């Protein structure tokens, strides 16, 4: 019974460790997730089903969070990227603050250690729209100030690589 319980627990809860082949696969998929398992197999010296099995496990274990289309900001009417540092009285993480996540212009929200409380990464059509967004940030109770850093140019923008 103990053994069985242990086995059940181990099988259900413990994700497999990520090995070197996994890392290479993850690197390839982080770069381009449209590659076929045949192509990936050639690059990893594995057969397509073997790659498929690994990818399946990496998705199941949450190492691959999602497969998404990365869009071009300007092409979809969001040419202005900015980082907004939000200072709040007290802790800052409130329902109203978290509700800002529902705004399409807000792409990232991090609580930080430092001389700000929250950092938002936002993407809007223009400075007018940034101002409108800031108005919504100021409407959150407890917000006492913001500092905006408008990206003039972007030299790199990608997600994590292993």
Partner DNA sequence: AATATTGCCGAACGATATTCGGCATACAGG
Partner DNA sequence: CCTGTATGCCGAATATCGTTCGGCAATATT
- Contact range with DNA by CB under 7 A, out of 30-38, 86-94, 116-124, 154-162: 30-38
Q: How far is CA 153 from the centre of its chain?
A: 21
Cβ(79)–Cβ(126) below 8 Å: yes
Burial string for 87-120 (b: 16+ CB within 10 Å, else e) reads ebeeebeeeebeebeeeebbeebeeeeeebbbbb
Least separation in angstroms between residue 152's CB and a copy of itself is 5
Nearest to 110 by CA among 136, 84, 72: 84
Q: Which of 1, 14, 69, 135 binds a copy of itself (CB under 8 A)?
A: 69
Pairwise CA distance, residues 151 & 83, whole Å? 8
Residue 135 and residue 138: Cα distance in Å, rounded?
A: 5
Q: Is 161 in the site for a copy of itself (CB under 8 A)?
A: yes
Q: Which of residues 90-119 bind a copy of itself (CB under 8 A)?
A: 93, 98, 101, 104, 106-116, 119
Strand partners, 36: none
Question: If binding is defined by CB under 7 A, does position 37 make contact with DNA?
Answer: yes
The reply to whether 159 sits near a copy of itself by the rule CB under 8 A is: yes
> Residue 17 or residue 159: which is nearer to DNA going by CB?
17
CB of 93 to a copy of itself, least distance (A): 8
Give the footprint of a copy of itself on this chain (CB under 8 A).
15, 18, 23, 26, 29-34, 61-73, 75-78, 81, 83, 85, 93, 98, 101, 104, 106-116, 119, 123, 147-162
């Amino acid at each position: 019974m103990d053994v069985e319980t242990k086995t059940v627990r181990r099988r259900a809860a413990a994700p497999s460790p990520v090995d070197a082949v996994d890392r290479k696969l993850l690197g390839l998929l982080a770069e381009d997730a449209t590659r076929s398992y045949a192509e990936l197999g050639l690059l990893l010296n594995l057969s397509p089903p073997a790659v498929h099995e690994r990818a399946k496990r990496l998705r199941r274990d949450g190492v691959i969070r999602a497969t998404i289309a990365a869009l071009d900001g300007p092409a979809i009417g969001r040419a202005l990227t900015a980082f907004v540092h939000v200072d709040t009285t007290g802790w800052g993480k409130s329902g109203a603050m978290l509700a800002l996540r529902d705004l399409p212009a807000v792409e990232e929200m991090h609580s930080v250690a430092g001389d700000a409380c929250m950092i938002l990464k936002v993407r809007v059509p223009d400075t007018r729209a940034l101002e409108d967004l800031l108005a919504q940030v100021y409407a959150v109770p407890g917000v006492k100030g913001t500092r905006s850093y408008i990206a003039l140019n972007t030299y790199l923008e990608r997600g994590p690589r292993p």
